[in-house]
């Protein structure tokens, strides 16, 4: 990106926000840095550098992921994270406007600040007279204080009673494909249903049933809006892809109240270990929410992946309720049993 390669990287300002290219940080109106992943920052930077212009998705992906072939879903996820950051939705954009069939447009007015003047104005005059040795002492002392504060916070976080946690209800949204080419609807539904079942028995945690969340499976679904509709504190948003004998899973726990990511991480397992992946994800979510899974969460009804897929195929056919689909469901259930 052009501003990153210059000798004097720019500082951009829009509607009270400030994007500092040199520090690779975005600051809110209160001057505090906002949580933003590296690629989401680069996506925002490219949009801010081209305000008011409709930018094709391919152009953004080439700029953010140069010399790398990535899936369009990567860009979609980062656009969603930017919208959560700014408290906007696809239907009610504040900065990032979706242009159907093309790409995105940054709608806010952007000002470019002089970084040199910005740095000078931020430097106190008295700092020029402070001896170098005293500066280092101040820096070291500040570092010790910050370290103690961090340790104290971590200790409090680990020992805080579960009753003080803010997330008491959750919705596991239907898993979506990382790419449409290798989609497996039955396993997507199975992963969703399995996590709902494993988390539902947790003490003090309310989990929405599959029947309530299944309508929120659209690829364009805004996860925060889904959470608001379901009346939960947080949503678990997942993507998965099957490639030969491997399964890739990307999952994020999003707070509905402030649209921020509470936890998230990728998983990759052999397809034969998909049951272990389900258990690992449920355990990580439970640990994050500081709740204890029930004994039923560890129960497996089969270790046979093929039987599991046939059972899931049967369930997908069964919910359609048409006579032909019901017959297909019975055939799948019979094969799964065998």
pLDDT at 269 over 70: yes
Q: Annotate 299-308 with b (16+ C-beta within 10 A) or e (fewer).
A: eeeeeebeeb
pLDDT of residue 172: 94
Alpha carbon distance 159, 156 (integer Å): 5
Query: 3 or 233, which is more confident?
Result: 233
Question: What pLDDT score does 309 carry?
Answer: 78
Mean pLDDT of the chain: 79
For the whole model, what pTM was predicted? 0.54
Average pLDDT over residues 192-215: 89
| Chain centre distance of CA 196 | 18
Does residue 43 have a pLDDT over 70?
A: yes
Higher pLDDT, residue 143 or 337: 337
pLDDT band at 138 (very low <50, low <70, confident <90, very high): low
Q: Quick one: pLDDT at residue 13? A: 93
More confident residue, 120 or 12: 12
Question: Residue 47: in which H helix or E strand, if any?
Answer: helix 38-49
- Sheet containing strand 25-27, strands side by side: 25-27, 17-20, 11-14, 111-113
193/189 Cα distance (integer angstroms): 6
Residue 12's pLDDT is 93
Is the per-residue pLDDT at 209 higher than 90? Answer: yes
What is the DSSP pairing of strand 234-243 with strand 169-172?
parallel
Lowest mean per-residue pLDDT among 109-118, 191-200, 283-292, 322-331? 109-118
How many CB atoms neighbour CB 278 within 10 A? Answer: 22
Q: What would the mean pLDDT of 225-241 be, rounded to a whole number?
A: 90
Q: Mind listing the pLDDT tens digit for each residue in 292-335?
A: 888 777 777 787 888 887 888 888 888 777 888 898 889 989 99
């Amino acid at each position: 990106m052009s501003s990153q390669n210059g000798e004097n990287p720019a500082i951009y300002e829009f509607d009270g926000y400030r994007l500092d290219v040199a520090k690779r940080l975005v600051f809110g109106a209160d001057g505090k840095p906002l949580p933003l992943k590296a690629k989401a920052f680069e996506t925002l930077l490219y949009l801010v550098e081209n305000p008011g212009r409709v930018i094709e998705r391919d152009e953004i992906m080439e700029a953010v992921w140069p010399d790398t072939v990535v899936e369009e879903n990567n860009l979609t996820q980062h656009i969603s994270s930017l919208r959560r950051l700014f408290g906007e939705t696809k239907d009610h954009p504040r900065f990032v406007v979706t242009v159907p069939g093309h790409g995105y447009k940054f709608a806010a007015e952007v000002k470019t600040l002089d970084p040199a003047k910005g740095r000078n104005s931020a430097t106190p005059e008295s700092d020029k007279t402070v001896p170098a040795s005293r500066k280092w002492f101040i820096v070291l002392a500040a570092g010790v204080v910050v370290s103690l504060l961090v340790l104290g916070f971590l200790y409090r976080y680990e020992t805080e009673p579960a009753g003080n946690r803010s997330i008491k209800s959750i919705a596991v949204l239907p898993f979506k494909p990382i790419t449409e080419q290798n989609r497996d609807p039955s396993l997507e539904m199975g992963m969703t249903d399995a996590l709902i079942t494993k988390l539902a028995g947790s003490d003090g945690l309310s989990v929405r049933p599959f029947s309530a969340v299944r309508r929120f499976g659209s690829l364009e679904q805004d996860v925060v809006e889904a959470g608001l509709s379901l009346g939960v504190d947080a949503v678990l948003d997942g993507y998965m892809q099957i490639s030969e004998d491997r399964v890739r899973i990307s999952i994020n726990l999003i707070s509905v109240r402030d649209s921020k990511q509470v936890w998230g991480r990728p998983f990759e397992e052999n397809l034969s270990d998909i049951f272990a992946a389900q258990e690992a994800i449920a355990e990580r979510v439970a640990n994050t929410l500081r709740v204890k899974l029930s004994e039923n969460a560890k129960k497996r009804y089969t270790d046979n992946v093929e039987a599991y897929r046939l059972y899931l195929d049967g369930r997908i056919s069964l919910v359609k309720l048409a006579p032909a689909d019901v017959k297909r469901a019975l055939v799948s259930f019979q094969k799964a049993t065998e």
